[in-house]
Amino acid sequence: MSNKNNKPQRTYAIVSVILIHIFLALPYSFSQPTDGSPFFEPQLSALQRQQQEMSSVNNTVHITKSSTSSYNIVDSQTGLVGAFDTLYLITGSSDSLDSSKKIIISTIQDDFNNSPTIGYIRLDNVTEEIGGASLPASVVNPFADPRMINSTITQHITSAIDSAHSLNNAMVAIKCDFGMIIGEWQCNHHGII
């Protein structure tokens, strides 16, 4: 009877020894890095790459421009600029907007300086009433010069970005409305997330 009782125990012992050797040899059956780094390091690098990619998405700033213009032709000879309006939508994280403030401003200034409407930006809505009719006022130069235009763009965008950054929203949209009259220009920020 002792032979019958020893057989299952010997089988368990042999199976246990085999399993122990398999589990000990299992890690060595995978390819190992040759530089001495741990086996799981490539997985960590992939995770770090993914975090860097997500970080670069969070550091992205988008600027979208929408402009409208209308032109009046009088007596088939004279072309006068009617109404025009330029909207810029700037989106990104509050940190990315703040760190990219100078390039945002210079991008919009460059775009605006190359606009055909830059010479038609008025200082104010200058009109006089004479006999109940609204007529253009007699002003030497009612138009804003490029230096004043660029300065106003800088002031409005800087103010909007600084204000949005102080709220520390994850995502921010800044809408700048630069129309015909420089005194009516504005930039407003809205937290998206």
DSSP string spanning 70-110?
Answer: EEEEETTTEEEEEEEEEEEEEEE-HHHHHHTHHHHHHHHHH
Place of tokens 């945002």: 104
Mean pLDDT across the stretch 3-32? 57
pLDDT at 30: 47
Is the confidence at residue 1, as pLDDT, over 60?
Answer: no
pTM for this predicted structure:
0.63
Question: Any idea of the CA torsion for 136, 139, 141, 147, to the nearest 10 degrees?
Answer: -100
Per-residue pLDDT at 71 exceeds 80: no
* Dist CA 160 CA 88 (whole Å): 12
pLDDT at position 128 is 47
Tell me the mean pLDDT in the region 146-151.
96
Task: Assign residue 131 a region (left: φ > 0; alpha: ψ between -120 and 50; beta: otherwise).
Answer: left
Cα(77)–Cα(55) distance, integer angstroms: 56
| Mean pLDDT value across residues 15-30 | 54
Percent of the chain at pLDDT > 70 equals 59
From 16-25, 65-74, 164-173, the region with the lowest mean pLDDT: 16-25
Q: Could you say which DSSP state residue 155 is in?
A: H
- Across residues 105-123, what is the average pLDDT? 92
- 70-88 mean pLDDT: 77
Q: How many whole angstroms separate alpha carbon 49 and alpha carbon 43?
A: 10
